[in-house]
Amino acid sequence: MKDIPELKQEKNFLGKISSWLIDRYRVVYLMIILIIGAGLFSYNQMPKESFPDIEINYLFVTTIYPGASVQDVESLVTDVVESAIEGVEGLDKATSTTGAGYSQVILEFEENTDMNKAKLDVQTVINDIRFTDGVMDPNVIQMETGEIPIMNFTLTGDYNLVEIDGYAETLQSEFSA
């Protein structure tokens, strides 16, 4: 070992630290245990929510026009809504879907937009639109993450409705606990 030239060289700063840590390996073990313990303690002290509120920067404008064709709904409802909401502050993008008798316009807003104010602005603009007769009042909906179910169950079997309802209530109380 004395013939190895690298061992004869003077150690630099990192070499001195490495030598110190190797010579005092019990201190290293203690530091690792303390770091893991501090991490576990911090994790347990962190506030946790089962269903945290996450603000989604989308609004949905849904309009029903019973009995109308796709072309009529698009020209008399969807195009009118899209042109009316163009000036809403913070609006990033509008995407629409038109079907026979219904129109849905999805509004995507910029990051950090006050969605309550944006919903009021969109509602005001939508309320000012005068649609043709037969068009129902549009609904402006803001999706909340708390409204989305985590799990859905379907119970079926050779039981009457009262028995299935009893099983459903039992399952619901078990999962809620």
Query: 121-177 pLDDT, tens per residue?
Result: 999 999 999 988 888 999 998 877 666 667 777 888 888 889 888 998 998 888 876
What are the backbone angles phi and psi of residue 11, rounded to the nearest 5°?
A: -80, 140
Residue type present at position 65: Y
8 Å CB contact between 98 and 68: no
Segment 11-20 shows an average pLDDT of 86
Residue 134: phi and psi, rounded to 5, are 100, -20
Average of per-residue pLDDT values in the chain: 87
Long-range contact pairs involving 165-168 (C-beta distance under 8 Å, separation at least 24): none
Q: Is the pTM value of this prediction over 0.75? A: no
- What was the pLDDT predicted at 175? 80
- Provide the pLDDT for residue 37: 97
Per-residue confidence (pLDDT) for residue 111, from 0 to 100: 86
Percent of the chain predicted with pLDDT > 70 = 92
Structure token pair of residue 7: 């061992």
11 pLDDT tier (thresholds 50, 70, 90)? confident
Displacement of CA 16 from its chain's centroid (Å):
50
pLDDT for 25-43, tens place per residue?
A: 999 999 999 999 999 999 9
Distance CA 8, CA 75 (A): 87
